[in-house]
């Protein structure tokens, strides 16, 4: 079972849940930027939570199916078509040999996930199929690549009830855990941080999301480098936040004002450059409760 790549797009890479166990070797975790859309895509196909999908950023992708397959696309609306017909996200679809799947330009959101029943079958490197462009682990799609996937068989159509489909056009409020150096920031710094709307500078960067806004006054010296968790928010020497994402380095020496809740990072992954974001405090117990519910629903078992 496979696809042929006709148009590779701006940034399309195979991703799974990520490379979670090599932090001590200095290797970043990689993996999908929007865990919500990704998890639904695998769920609707009855896949394992960690099966590899194609992460399509901004579109401009065309694939030819070389076999009959069952697929599911979740996430951004990038004008997805099967041949010349508009096709739906958030449901499993039977496609036939010779069908052309295409994604043109972003209408709502920026990242779409193409899952195939059984998952894509690219090489596992360091316990994951996730492409890591920074470290040259795997590569982004290029023309005429053949994308292999596990054999796929017909299944009943599964879809999400419309009320569960996210609206990517609403403003994002990022809930922040008071972690790392939160208590070392002054009241004035925190007040500036929580009371302003920041704007996203670089939405397509998998390493970090830089925000633009009124900078806070910061001390210039760096700290001793320490391990950085997914979603931690550094305040760089220019006084502006950088939210560390999937391809971020494992350690770093800027003070961090907190850590964004992972399911809010999934929403952030769908925002265009220049979109507004605000921060709001979140309690660790609430975060764990919400994430636990998510993990249980999608049967995410990280350490098994």
Partner 1 sequence: MHKIILAGESSILIYFGSKIDNSLPKNIANFANELNTQFSDLIIDSIPSYTSLLVNYDLSKISYLEFSAEVQNLLENFKFSDSVQTYDLIHIPVNYSFETGLDLEKLLAEKDLSLDEFIDIHSSQEYLVHAIGFSPVFAFLGQVDKLIQAPRLATPRIKIPAGSVGIADSQTAVYPSESSGGWNIIGRTPLDLSLNNPESLNKFKVGDRVKFYPITHDEFSRYGE
Binding site for partner 1 (CB under 8 A): 20-27, 126, 134-137, 177-180, 224-232, 249-252, 259, 261-262, 284-285, 287-288, 291-292, 295-296, 300-303
Query: In whole angstroms, how close is the CB of 115 to partner 1 at the nearest point?
Result: 23
Query: In whole angstroms, how close is the CB of 203 to partner 1 at the nearest point?
Result: 22
Query: In whole angstroms, how close is the CB of 105 to partner 1 at the nearest point?
Result: 31
Asked if 209 and 268 count as a contact pair (C-beta separation under 8 A), the reply is yes
Residue closer to partner 1 by CB (options 188, 284) is 284
Q: Bin 239: left if φ > 0, else alpha if -120 < ψ < 50, else beta.
A: left
Three-class secondary structure of residue 204 per DSSP: coil
Residue closer to partner 1 by CB (options 117, 256) is 256
Residue closer to partner 1 by CB (options 197, 297) is 297
Of 168, 177, 176, nearest in space to 268 by CA: 168
CA dihedral 136, 138, 139, 142 (to 10 degrees): 150
Of 45, 57, 54, 39, nearest in space to 205 by CA: 57
Asked if 60 and 66 count as a contact pair (C-beta separation under 8 A), the reply is no
Residue closer to partner 1 by CB (options 94, 179) is 179
Residue 280, H or E segment: strand 276-281
| Rounded Cα distance, 245 and 233, in Å | 9
Asked if 174 and 264 count as a contact pair (C-beta separation under 8 A), the reply is yes
Query: In whole angstroms, how close is the CB of 8 to partner 1 at the nearest point?
Result: 23
Query: In whole angstroms, how close is the CB of 260 to partner 1 at the nearest point?
Result: 9
Of 53, 102, 107, 38, nearest in space to 78 by CA: 107
Count CB atoms within 10 A of the CB of residue 285. Answer: 8
Query: In whole angstroms, how close is the CB of 135 to partner 1 at the nearest point?
Result: 6
Query: In whole angstroms, how close is the CB of 176 to partner 1 at the nearest point?
Result: 11
Residue closer to partner 1 by CB (options 97, 289) is 289
Residue closer to partner 1 by CB (options 202, 288) is 288
Q: Bin 64: left if φ > 0, else alpha if -120 < ψ < 50, else beta.
A: beta
Residue closer to partner 1 by CB (options 149, 287) is 287
């Amino acid at each position: 079972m496979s696809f042929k790549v006709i148009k590779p797009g701006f940034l399309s890479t195979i991703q799974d849940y990520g490379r979670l166990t090599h932090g001590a070797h200095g290797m970043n975790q990689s993996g999908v930027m929007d865990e919500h859309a990704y998890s639904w895509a695998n769920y609707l196909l009855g896949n394992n939570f960690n099966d590899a999908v194609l992460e399509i950023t901004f579109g401009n992708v065309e694939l030819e199916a070389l076999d009959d397959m069952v697929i599911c696309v979740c996430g951004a609306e990038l004008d997805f078509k099967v041949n010349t017909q508009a096709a739906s996200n958030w449901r499993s679809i039977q496609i036939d040999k010779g069908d052309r799947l295409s994604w043109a330009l972003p209408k709502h959101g920026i990242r779409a996930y193409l899952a195939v029943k059984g998952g894509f079958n690219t090489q596992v490197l360091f316990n994951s199929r996730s492409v890591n462009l920074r470290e040259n682990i795997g590569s982004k799609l290029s023309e005429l690549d053949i994308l292999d996937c596990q054999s796929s068989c017909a299944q009943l159509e599964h879809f999400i009830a419309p009320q569960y489909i996210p609206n990517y056009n609403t403003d994002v409020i990022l809930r922040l855990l008071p972690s790392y150096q939160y208590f070392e920031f002054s009241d004035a710094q925190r007040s500036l941080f929580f009371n302003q709307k920041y704007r996203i500078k670089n939405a397509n960067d998998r390493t970090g999301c830089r925000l633009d806004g009124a900078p806070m006054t910061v001390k210039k010296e760096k700290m001793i480098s320490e391990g950085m968790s997914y979603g931690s928010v550094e305040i760089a020497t220019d006084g502006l936040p950088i939210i560390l994402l999937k391809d971020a380095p494992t350690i770093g020496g800027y003070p961090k004002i907190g850590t964004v809740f992972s399911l809010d990072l999934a929403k952030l992954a769908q925002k265009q450059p220049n979109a507004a974001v605000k921060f709001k405090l979140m309690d660790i117990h609430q975060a764990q409760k919400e994430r636990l519910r998510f993990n249980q629903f999608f049967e995410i078992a990280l350490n098994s």
